[in-house]
Structure 1
Amino acid sequence: MAFLKPLFRAIELLLMKCLCSTIVLFLLIVLFIDFLPISFGGYAAQRFLLLSISGSVVLVVGFGWLNPAREASQSQVLWQALPGIFLAVLFFLLSFPYRFRPFNWIEPGMYAFYFLFIILVGGRLAQLNRAERLVGAFIFLVAGACFFYGAMTINVYLFAISGSVANLVNYIPWGFVNIRYWSHVATWLLPLLPLAVFIGPYKDNRLWKTGVALAAALWWWIVLMSSARGTMLGVGFGTLLVLLLIGRPSFPWLKVSAKYLLFGVCAWLLLSVLIPSILLDEVQIRSIKTGGSGRWPLFLEAFQMSIQNFPFGMGPQSWLTHEIITEAYRNSPKFGHPHNMYLMWAAEYGWLLIAGLLVLVGQAAKNFWVKRTLIRSGQAPELALILAAFTASVSAALFHAGVSAVFMAPGSMLIGLLVLTLFWALVQPPVALVPPLTVRQRRGRTKIALLVTAVVAVLCVVWLREVWHYYRAMEQDVEFYHEHASEGTLPRFWFHGNYPRHPSQMP
């Protein structure tokens, strides 16, 4: 059994070296999936990639964490990972009473592996001192992907204008089945773009700075044109939080962020107002709504669900299958989720899960506060800018999740997986050194690591097999659904996400 140990270590090291390739793959399948030969649709492809990557990486990195390097303090590593492990276990424990429901374990498994990936991979990057180095590669790739997406958007824009199309939101943003799924991605990425001119090998290159500014301007133009309120409010909240928490060391990042927003406003005036008014003699501007867009009945319904079986919730996917509680929701449009991730988790898994999530957030905040003391002293100016950008990105997404499905749409979850993992790695405290383990101790830990890894591997295979069965069952249900159900497509786990649904609408 000992021969498996170097094998797992080699695989783990290879995974760490391949993280740049993973970043490229994620950006490609999220932003440019229209150009990929996907037979079962982009939404499902993104979901399958998210599940397969998170499950397999957790297995390998989890083994490395259980059997760490000889100089790593096991107790410290365990303490840092404990809140994430606790949250992952809660997803399963709170789903257990509903184990006989069809496809009951699909979403709990997704969220469990999602948070385990963030905690284990982020912690491992911190142990190996590779977080800041990987951040440079990540920001470079993000800026490049945003530039090419923006450039191709201009191509779409020119075709639309030449075809006398005034309502551009029917064509832009492109590549997403729903306009708001693009805004989720924008919420993650917009706060990171200013960082591209402060770190990396091209930070002093004028052409590179111009390209990043152009990319940011085009992305802000799309936000303004599509009136993506969640993104605007989320990025605004993240920026304000950075200003309050980090203060003066974040000013260079804040200055560039404000400049990019100004460029975006100028791009909006040019592309959405001036050019259409000249070439088309009309201007169609999407107004920014000040109301709740029908969300309040959904929020109220989810809250009422959360107190029906307080504090345990009504079970995974019960939003789709439960008996309607409030009259306001009965008379309102239906969606595959209540447009609030926290209320959805409270409704389905209970307020105990929200408490577990707050514990994890508290651990991250505590670690951040330690790093904040360092950067406020002026000892690490580059780290201050990196933390400012990632703190704004994470807090913007967490805010946006309160009004949209940021942690349900697979594209947003893929980008969020990268951002959250790097943020977790950046705020980790240094790992203490301890005396080398004895041969007997190392053998014991290797056996435990192999046993736990084998059990989780079996569960992962069974879970992925059930995911495939869920996909096939969903596909077979589509025809019946369109013929007999009154609602349209309700994206959730799959693009046809209203399956399984209330028994009255099932065949």
Structure 2
Amino acid sequence: MRTAWNAALWLLVAAVFVCVLFADFLSLPFGGYASQRFILVGLLGLVVVFSLTVLVYRYGWPLVRYVWPVALIAGGFILLALPFGEASYNWAEPGMYGAFFLGFVLSGCLPRSDEQRRYSVVVLVGVAAVTAAFYGGATITVYMFALSDQVANMSNFIPWGFVNIRYWSHTATWLLPLLPLAVLIGPLKDERLWRFFVALGAALWWWVEFLSTSRGSMLGIAFGVILAAVLIGRPVLPWLRVFLRYLAYGVLAWLLLSVIIPSIFLDEVSMRSLKSDSSGRMPLFLEAWRMSLENFPFGLGPQSWLTHEVLTEEYQQSRKFGHPHNMYLMWAAEYGWLLIGALMLFVGQAVRLFWQRRAEVRVAGGGELALSLAAFTASVSAALLHAGVSAVFMAPGSMLIGFLVLSVFWALITPDLLPATQKRRTGKRFVAAAIVALVMGISCFYWLSEVSAYHESMEDDLEFYYEEVPAGTLPRFWFHGNFPRHPSQMPL
């Protein structure tokens, strides 16, 4: 049985990474963006129903003391959307966010031993290293074709496979702190070929990171790495040394591939430059802030960013996007500061659990648990900071990768929920688990049907939108994310 579960875990993680990084090579039925969204909501529904059923049967009521903060968040998304229940496709996004937070916490509670937690780390990091390296190799192929066509600005073609260059940077934020872990743990950690393979993939990802000039990603990773090093201390040094080595390899790759080789083969070299301004985000932040105060502390409703009357002159004159490029202000604007309060309670629980685990690894003097905790702490912290300036928790690819990373992070910081001498499972607990499975299954089925209906209506709106609404593509829940929108722009 354990072998079957392990194989299923490898298959699931590999499938998620492949559909995110290699969507261009797959014949996905609805296109990359929409198919990734369907995969995301399907995965979330499956994980929530399965994990909650297993945990209720395993632990019963004591489970509540460990999950009540995230239950407040999941319930908050749903309850704060209730006053707007008559709005079109009102439940797609709150259902997704509620299932996302609840799902990674519940799945993180499933491992019952350090050995199971270690195995989940090995699976995720191993798959991440392999797929990242293959993506890097394919990027070199794209690079060679662009070079042979005398393309001066490589950022027009690299990174590839994502509908937006920033959506690639979300994925890089999650993955770059984890890649050093692939040569520090696992059965292949002492194999020279494996270490070279991982280093090559990491160098190429750092090269693309510099090529994309994503300030949010770079600052997020720097913040996450420094935070992990400061909080955990000396036990993280092996991971930190490998991280810095890969960063140096990335700098060398950038000099070779973006400066030296193009200077030899091209008449001119063009590169994206780092900007010092807000890239038009400040009017979006101010608009979202004003929205959050309009119906304080309840918010203006799901997707009201797309449908509300503009409140500030700066936003009226600025470029429009499907979201305000700040997840926290978007949630405050649409779901209110009550939800942000619940989120802060949840963060407080995570900090407390992390601090307990940190004390354990420091007493133990390091080891694989300390290295894993450092890498995943850096990854999660980087993504949380990056989410303050980008749609890290909106883009489906980023949410898929982030869900796996957060699940393993939660497993690393979560203690055993009950002592080994827990009471035998009773028939009452079996009945409770069955009821939970039935209720959650029906709820997820309704939510998935809402998502499907939303997709069909969005597709029907495309022709009118492109002919009558000169707003361009604004990705949000769907790639055509400006639907539904303000009533003045909707067909009669």
Q: Deviations over 1:136-162 (max 9, x none)?
A: 121111101011000000000000001
Q: Distance in 1 between matches of 2:3 and 2:298?
A: 40
1:381 corresponds to which letter in structure 2?
Answer: G
1:106 corresponds to which letter in structure 2?
Answer: A
Verify the 8 A CA contact 2:236 2:366 in the aligned structure 1.
no
User: Structure 1 residue 80: deviation in Å?
Assistant: 1.6
Q: Deviations over 1:40-79 (max 9, x none)?
A: 11000100000011102211221111111xxx5852x322
> 2:482 maps to which residue?
498
Q: Distance in 2 between matches of 1:452 and 1:122?
A: 19
Where 2:242 maps in the other structure, the secondary structure is: helix
> 2:92 maps to which residue?
106
The one of 134, 158, 163 equivalent to 2:149 is 163
> 1:66 maps to which residue?
56
1:228-377 to structure 2, matched below 5 A, reads: 228-377=214-363
Q: Distance in 2 between matches of 1:403 and 1:378?
A: 37
Is 1:473 matched with 2:463?
A: no
Q: Distance in 1 between matches of 2:114 and 2:85?
A: 39
Verify the 8 A CA contact 1:107 1:493 in the aligned structure 2.
yes
Q: Distance in 1 between matches of 2:233 and 2:60?
A: 33
Is 1:123 matched with 2:109?
A: yes
User: Structure 1 residue 34: deviation in Å?
Assistant: 0.9
Verify the 8 A CA contact 1:126 1:426 in the aligned structure 2.
no
User: Structure 1 residue 24: deviation in Å?
Assistant: 0.4
**In the comparison of the two structures, how many residue pairs are matched?**
491
Gaps in structure 1 of 5+ consecutive residues:
1-9
Counterparts in 2 of 1:362 and 1:14: CA distance versus 1, 3 Å: farther
User: Structure 1 residue 457: deviation in Å?
Assistant: 1.2
1:126-165 to structure 2, matched below 5 A, reads: 126=112, 130-165=116-151
Verify the 8 A CA contact 2:60 2:429 in the aligned structure 1.
no
> 2:440 maps to which residue?
456
Counterparts in 2 of 1:349 and 1:16: CA distance versus 1, 3 Å: farther
Counterparts in 2 of 1:482 and 1:442: CA distance versus 1, 3 Å: same
The one of 473, 480, 487 equivalent to 2:471 is 487
> 1:42 maps to which residue?
32
> 2:12 maps to which residue?
22
Q: Distance in 2 between matches of 1:449 and 1:330?
A: 51
Where 1:493 maps in the other structure, the secondary structure is: coil
User: Structure 1 residue 380: deviation in Å?
Assistant: 3.8
Counterparts in 2 of 1:185 and 1:141: CA distance versus 1, 3 Å: same
> 1:53 maps to which residue?
43
Verify the 8 A CA contact 2:292 2:329 in the aligned structure 1.
yes
User: Structure 1 residue 128: deviation in Å?
Assistant: 8.6
Is 1:214 matched with 2:204?
A: no
Verify the 8 A CA contact 2:235 2:365 in the aligned structure 1.
no
Q: Distance in 2 between matches of 1:359 and 1:324?
A: 31
1:427 corresponds to which letter in structure 2?
Answer: I
User: Structure 1 residue 185: deviation in Å?
Assistant: 0.2
Counterparts in 2 of 1:198 and 1:296: CA distance versus 1, 3 Å: same
Is 1:201 matched with 2:187?
A: yes
1:92-103 to structure 2, matched below 5 A, reads: 92-103=78-89
User: Structure 1 residue 176: deviation in Å?
Assistant: 0.4
> 1:32 maps to which residue?
22
Where 1:281 maps in the other structure, the secondary structure is: coil
Q: Distance in 2 between matches of 1:212 and 1:170?
A: 26
User: Structure 1 residue 351: deviation in Å?
Assistant: 0.7
Where 1:492 maps in the other structure, the secondary structure is: coil
1:56 corresponds to which letter in structure 2?
Answer: L
1:49 corresponds to which letter in structure 2?
Answer: I
Q: Deviations over 1:17-46 (max 9, x none)?
A: 512111000000000111111131100010
User: Structure 1 residue 377: deviation in Å?
Assistant: 2.2
Verify the 8 A CA contact 2:47 2:103 in the aligned structure 1.
yes
User: Structure 1 residue 430: deviation in Å?
Assistant: 2.5
Q: Which moved more, 1:175-184 or 1:367-376?
A: 367-376
Q: Distance in 2 between matches of 1:15 and 1:462?
A: 28
Q: Which moved more, 1:250-259 or 1:487-496?
A: 250-259
2:411 corresponds to which letter in structure 1?
Answer: A
The one of 392, 396, 399 equivalent to 2:385 is 399
* Length-normalised TM-score, structure 2: 0.97
Counterparts in 2 of 1:435 and 1:220: CA distance versus 1, 3 Å: closer
User: Structure 1 residue 127: deviation in Å?
Assistant: 6.0
Q: Deviations over 1:238-279 (max 9, x none)?
A: 011012101111111111111111111111111011111110
After the TM superposition, list the runs of 4 or more consecutive aligned residues in structure 1 that deviate by more than 3 angstroms: 12-17, 126-129, 434-438
User: Structure 1 residue 452: deviation in Å?
Assistant: 2.4
Q: Which moved more, 1:317-326 or 1:281-290?
A: 281-290
Q: Distance in 2 between matches of 1:458 and 1:15?
A: 25
User: Structure 1 residue 129: deviation in Å?
Assistant: 5.2
Q: Distance in 1 between matches of 2:116 and 2:163?
A: 35
1:373 corresponds to which letter in structure 2?
Answer: A
Verify the 8 A CA contact 1:125 1:131 in the aligned structure 2.
yes
Where 1:113 maps in the other structure, the secondary structure is: helix
Counterparts in 2 of 1:14 and 1:106: CA distance versus 1, 3 Å: farther
Verify the 8 A CA contact 1:73 1:434 in the aligned structure 2.
no
Where 2:176 maps in the other structure, the secondary structure is: helix
User: Structure 1 residue 16: deviation in Å?
Assistant: 6.5
1:163 corresponds to which letter in structure 2?
Answer: D
Q: Distance in 2 between matches of 1:127 and 1:196?
A: 21
Q: Distance in 2 between matches of 1:433 and 1:426?
A: 17
Verify the 8 A CA contact 1:126 1:428 in the aligned structure 2.
no
2:44 corresponds to which letter in structure 1?
Answer: S
Q: Distance in 1 between matches of 2:57 and 2:281?
A: 47
Counterparts in 2 of 1:17 and 1:351: CA distance versus 1, 3 Å: farther
* Length-normalised TM-score, structure 1: 0.94
